[in-house]
A and B are shown apart, each in its own frame.
Chain A
Amino acid sequence: MTLTREAAPSAAPPTRGKPQPNRRSGIGRAQRREAIALVIPSLIPVLAFSIYPLLNGIFLAFTDSTLKRNAESNFVGLDNFVRLAGDTFFWESFRIGMIWAVSVTVLQLLAGMGLALLLNADLRLKWLTRLLALIPWAMPPVVVAIMWRMIYSPTTGPLNAVIGFFGGPSDTNWLGNFDTALPAVIVVGIWVGMPQTTITLLAGLQQIPEELHEAAAIDGANAWSRFRNVSLPSLRPIIASITSLNFIWNFNSFGLVYVMTEGGPGGKTMLPMLFTYIEAFKNRNLGYAAAMGDVLVLVVVLLLAVYLWAQFRGEREK
């Protein structure tokens, strides 16, 4: 700590925005040096194990690197991408990943919004619901997957037992059936992601000034039109950010589906993350898998850019 006593107050200028022009330039420099010294310990692991691998990963996609013993890695240009363009298994997995990410994100938002509105009304049992809504978020994904495998179990699961009780077919193999596997894992995805969405939306709802609702109610607006015209516009920025984050998290999700189905049956739940993992660490084609990673990242970034651009443009037009 090189700062002198007099310098301490200037360490945090009271005015926001641009730092005040510092008359004592020596102190400004000392301050900067101090800030750098404080940041460096956390910067080193980030550079070594996060930024460098990221750049390296982008580069690997242009090589034929493999995990096989004594294999050489050569630069192959765009070969991997050309091969990938014609890889129907990859694009099928990509399609499944999009269905998964979009439906989980949308349904999370709807279910989360419903729960947030209920939690914002004066009802009994709110504490219990709030507690239950938070638990999924804290549970290890592996445990969540094991739990839902039990629920979905064709022979000993409670879901089939309940359906059977009401006279329906009680032998559905939810996770093993071509038609039901993807919807079944999507339900689990919603279950896991709801807490975060609910809590975020609830915080947003609580920030809306009471007066707005009162004024609308006096004007004769019913609950639905108050939700549409008062709550929804105020929540708009929060909805935009939570759906973007949820979409990325869901698209990048791995453990949940891997433990539940390992991508099966017949690749029906083979999310792109699982597909890439298998290509890299089971088939040992690192370069090709890295090309998949590049494509996935690129697509997600583009989609998000379009979505956020549309959101903010809508905002400005209002």
Chain B
Amino acid sequence: MSTTVTGTNRIVRPLQYVALAGYLVFLGFPLLWLVSASMKSSSELNSLNIQLVPESFHWANFSDALAKQGLLHSAANSLFVAVSTTVLVIVISMPAAYALARFRGKIRTAGTGWILVSQVFPVILIIIPLFLILKRIGLVDNLFGLIIVYTTYTMPFALWMLQGYIASIPVELEEAGSMDGASRLKVLRIIVLPLLMPGVVATAMFSFVSAWNEFFFALVLIQSPDNYTLPITLKMFVGGEGKVALGPLAAGAVLATIPSLIFFAFLQRKLTGGLLAGAVKG
């Protein structure tokens, strides 16, 4: 609240900073610790003398994680799944988002209703029959099966984002284009698409990060280590290797976060600008 009464300011301000510092530590310290652990040698990690800044920077954790522990292979799997999901989601949801944004009536109501319901979908109930269905068509323990599932479950929110971006492009622009004699397709390609590009990029990144981070479906649907995605490999680390691989584990965890961080460098302003608020209030 910017209209603070000046009298209370002297007492309130320091308290606010204390609270802010508390939040900073709570939110930031675990991140710092993870990064620090990723650069510590295993002897330092297992020593009882605990400090945040590593005694010596042990970069070998990162190469160890990638080369020895099979993270590189899983990262390639994750990348393949996430990129395919993203492309599929965008291609499939773009026309539907256009329909949702531009045509009113039953389709819009049903579509919006479905999107909202899908946000609260009981995955635990879905996963059992989904497993059986995918098994029947031979897509269990198969990266393509994972791509299909991710596409289905990322699409509703992607659709919601995209239709928001389309709705914010004035219809008048399309009308003006068609009055000038351009065909419908040409109007879409020349007028709508360029204006929509930032929205497409944001939606694509959202889809990518969702697929990249996903754990539950992968845990159930993927069985052989050859097909593990990054989160599954990291999880296997936790159980099996124990303390020994702590450094490489932290390094792998840091590496697995990088795509999401890039996403945030891109999106930070848009998200705070009310994209989520719009999604919730809608």
Contact = CB atoms under 8 A, between A and B. Distances in A.
Interface of A: 1, 3, 5, 8-9, 11-14, 16-17, 19, 31-32, 34-39, 41-43, 45-46, 48-50, 52-54, 56-58, 60, 114-115, 117-118, 120-123, 125, 128-136, 138-143, 145-151, 155-158, 161, 191, 194, 196, 199-200, 202-204, 210, 213-214, 217, 222-223, 226, 231, 237-238, 241-242, 245, 248, 252, 254-255, 258-259, 262, 272-273, 276-277, 280-281, 286, 289-290, 292-294, 296-297, 300
A164 to B, nearest CB: 9
Given A135-B31, A202-B272, A41 B92 contact: yes
Given A223-B4, A254-B215, A255-B216, A138 B264 contact: yes
Contacts of A17: 104
Interface of B: 1-5, 8, 12, 16-17, 19-20, 23-24, 26-31, 33-34, 37, 45-48, 50, 52, 91-93, 95-96, 98-100, 102-105, 107, 111, 114, 118-133, 148-149, 151-153, 155-156, 159, 171, 174-175, 178, 181, 183-185, 187, 209, 212-213, 215-216, 219-220, 230-231, 234-235, 237-239, 243, 246, 249-250, 253, 256-257, 260-261, 263-264, 268, 271-272, 274, 276-277, 280-281
A45 B223 CA distance: 23
Contacts of A217: 3, 5
Contacts of B133: 48-49, 52-53, 56
A114 B15 CA distance: 12
B107 A36 contact: yes
Contacts of A8: 174-175, 178, 184, 187
B236 to A, nearest CB: 10
B272 A46 contact: no
Contact of B3 (A3, A16, A214, A237): A214
A219 B220 CA distance: 60
Contacts of B216: 254-255
Contacts of A241: 280-281
Contacts of B114: 46
Contacts of A286: 128, 132
A39 to B, nearest CB: 5
Given A1-B184, A142-B235, A150-B33, A42 B48 contact: no
Nearest to B123: A252
Given A19-B105, A39-B95, A245 B120 contact: yes
Given A39-B111, A223-B12, A293 B46 contact: no
Most B-side CB within 10 Å, residue of A121, A123, A138, A241: A138
A45 B155 contact: yes
Contact of A118 (B16, B153, B213, B274): B16
Contacts of A41: 91-92, 95-96
16 contacts: A35-B107, A36-B107, A39-B96, A42-B92, A49-B130, A132-B23, A136-B27, A139-B213, A143-B253, A150-B34, A151-B33, A156-B46, A203-B272, A203-B277, A204-B277, A296-B124
Contact of B209 (A9, A49, A138): A138
Contacts of A57: 125-126, 128-129
A238 B23 contact: no
Nearest to A2: B184
A147 B125 contact: no
B264 A56 contact: no
A174 to B, nearest CB: 13
Contacts of B46: 156
A115 B21 CA distance: 11
A290 B129 CA distance: 9
Contacts of A276: 124
A140 B92 contact: no
A13 B104 contact: yes
Interface pairs A-B: 10 shortest CB-CB: A203-B277, A293-B125, A138-B260, A255-B215, A56-B129, A140-B213, A38-B95, A38-B99, A53-B129, A161-B50
Given A8-B178, A35-B103, A281 B93 contact: no
